[in-house]
Structure formats: structure tokens, C-alpha cells
Amino acid sequence: MQRTSIKPNPKRFVKEPTPPMSLKGLMLFFLPLAALPATVIAFGKGNLTGIFINGGGYALYLLAAILLRRGLHQEAEYSARRISRAPKWSFKFYAALLVMLATSWIAWLGAGHTMMVSVVFGAGALLGMYLTYGFDPRREKMIGGSHGYSADEVTDTITAAEQIIGHIERANQRINNTEFNNRILTICQDARDVLEIIEQDPGDIRRARKFLNVYLDGARKVSEGYASTHERMASDELEENFREILVTIEKVFKEQKQKLLENDFFDLDVQMEVLAAQLKREGVL
């Protein structure tokens, strides 16, 4: 019997507040380390030109290493996203140029090679940087069926929604109520699922825009409002109101997700109107 294997969808990229430490690109900090004792020797000998040449060269390498690591981090984010714009700054390319400049500089003025040989040293270093690390991605990444939306528009919408979810999660940390905490976590997860649906089919942005712009933000205002109010005063009525809103938000978000999956346009708006009315009653919208 022939077996077919289904490849699962890759997990949606969620930007971490503090990215994990990567070892990639660290080599460039250590590779020109010989310039450091050269600077120390120049200091010892009172050789100002030597200090300037070797110290300046090492500083250029350090700057290149920092830019390279930034470029690699940027590239990792770009690869992890399904939809992404091309990075704004070409950090890897700038790093390669700096390495070329620093190598030519040290080969010419420090090692005493002729200008032509130094240029060859620099060109070799530039080629080495390109072959080892590559240059920055230049094309925007978009999956099929964009429905006329550019990667910029989709990325902006998703990034804004992710920021709002982040605010809700931070407000949740200030709330000392397990039931509310769990409800808010479920709401955030549903919101992320909606974002995933949008990433898979950017055409859904048109339908989900109201949800992302108004109701997700409404959920943020409610959570933040409750988080700051209940710290000052605890009231049963406040808790009951908050519980009711959370239940409605949870229900509407789940339905929103389902309707987006089913491409059911009409019901989506009706459900949203129900939530809007409740949020208005509570003075959130």
C-alpha cells in the first residue's frame, strides 16, 4: 500500500521581543584580532601612525561585524515570514564594503603592500564576505493570490495587529485573575490564528480589516482599562462587566476565524456589529 505523507504548514513567524543569541557572524569579531596587539605594540613604541592605522582598521572591522550580525538577524526574520518586504537597510552589503575598506587600509598602510596589492586584498575580502554570508535579500516576498495588495500593505497590517496583541498580553500580565488570564490568552491565540489566515490568503485582509483595526484594538482598550482600574479598586460589578466583554470578544474572535476559513462574508459583519454594540455600551468604542 502506498503511503502519502502530508507536509504540515510551517509555524507562523511571531517576532520575539528579545531575539535569541545567534553565533552567526561572530567570526568577524575575532578574525582581525591581530590588529589589536599591533595597536598595543604601536602604543608601546609611541608610534602614532601605527596606532591610527591598526586601531582604526580594527574599529572598522568591529563596525562591520556589528552590521553583519544585524543583517543576518534581518535576513532570518525575512526568511521566517511568509510575506515580507525587502529589508530597508542593506546591512550585510555595508558590512562587506567596510571589510573591504579595512583590509585594503591595513594591507596598504599597516603591512606595507603596494596600493595595487592592497586593492586585491580588499577585493578578496569583499568576495569572501559575499560567498560566506551573501548579500541582503532585495525582493519582497509574497505568496500567490495577493488580490492587489503589496507585501508592504500586508506586512504593515500584520505588524500593527501583532503590536496590539503584544499590548493585550502585557495588560494580561497585570491582571491577577486566572480565569481572565486564560480567556485573554485564548483571545490572543485566536487573533494570531486570524493573522495566520491572512498571511496564507492576503485577500482576506479586506474582510478582516475591521476586525484588525477596530475590534482587536477594542480588546486592547478593554484589557488595558481593566488592568489599570482593578489595580486601584476591586468591584464585583467591574469584574462581571469585564467577564461579559471577554466572553463576547472570545466568541466573536472564534467566529471571525471560522467565517474567514469558510469565506462567509455576511455573517462576519453581523457578528462584528454585535461586538461593536457591546463595546460601545461599555464605552470602549
Partner 1 sequence: MLKIIKKLFGLTLLISTVGIATYQSMVNIGAASNNEIVPKISN
Residues between 81 and 100 that touch partner 1 (CB under 8 A): 99
Tell which one of 19, 22, 26, 45 touches partner 1 (CB under 8 A): 45
Cα dihedral 176, 180, 186, 189, rounded to 10, equals: -50
Residues between 57 and 76 that touch partner 1 (CB under 8 A): 57-58, 61
Residues between 97 and 116 that touch partner 1 (CB under 8 A): 99, 102-103, 106-107, 110-113
# chain residues binding partner 1, by CB under 8 A: 39
Per CB under 8 A, which region of 80-88, 122-130, 190-198, 260-268 contacts partner 1? 122-130
Pick between residue 132 and residue 263 the one whose CB is nearest to partner 1.
132
Residues between 10 and 39 that touch partner 1 (CB under 8 A): 31-35, 37-38
Pick between residue 99 and residue 142 the one whose CB is nearest to partner 1.
99
Give backbone dihedrals phi and psi of 19, rounded to 5 degrees, phi first: -65, 145
Rounded to the nearest whole angstrom, what is the least distance from the CB of residue 87 to partner 1 in the complex?
Answer: 21
Pick between residue 80 and residue 109 the one whose CB is nearest to partner 1.
109
Pick between residue 132 and residue 228 the one whose CB is nearest to partner 1.
132
Cα distances from 83 to residues 106, 114, 199, 229, 277, in angstroms, run 42, 48, 7, 38, 34
DSSP 152-182: HHHHHHHHHHHHHHHHHHHHHHT---HHHHH
Ranges of H-type helices in the chain: 27-30, 35-44, 48-80, 91-105, 115-133, 151-173, 178-200, 205-210, 216-232, 236-262, 265-281
**Can you tell me the distance from the alpha carbon of 189 to that of 113, in angstroms, rounded to the nearest whole number?**
61
**Can you tell me the distance from the alpha carbon of 199 to that of 2, in angstroms, rounded to the nearest whole number?**
33
Per CB under 8 A, which region of 11-19, 130-138, 199-207, 249-257 contacts partner 1? 130-138
| C-alpha cell recorded at residue 121 | 586584498
Pick between residue 98 and residue 194 the one whose CB is nearest to partner 1.
98
Rounded to the nearest whole angstrom, what is the least distance from the CB of residue 66 to partner 1 in the complex?
Answer: 16
**Can you tell me the distance from the alpha carbon of 222 to that of 253, in angstroms, rounded to the nearest whole number?**
15
Rounded to the nearest whole angstrom, what is the least distance from the CB of residue 122 to partner 1 in the complex?
Answer: 8
Give backbone dihedrals phi and psi of 275, rounded to 5 degrees, phi first: -65, -40
Q: At what angle do helices 236-262 and 178-200 cross, to 10 degrees?
A: 20
Tell which one of 26, 41, 261, 277 touches partner 1 (CB under 8 A): 41
Per CB under 8 A, which region of 70-78, 129-137, 157-165, 260-268 contacts partner 1? 129-137
Contacts of 240 (CB under 8 A, 6+ apart): none
DSSP state of 45: T
Residues between 239 and 258 that touch partner 1 (CB under 8 A): none
Tell which one of 124, 166, 203, 225 touches partner 1 (CB under 8 A): 124
Rounded to the nearest whole angstrom, what is the least distance from the CB of residue 62 to partner 1 in the complex?
Answer: 13
| C-alpha cell recorded at residue 185 | 490568552
Binding site for partner 1 (CB under 8 A): 31-35, 37-38, 41-42, 45-47, 49-50, 53-54, 57-58, 61, 99, 102-103, 106-107, 110-113, 121-122, 124-125, 127-133
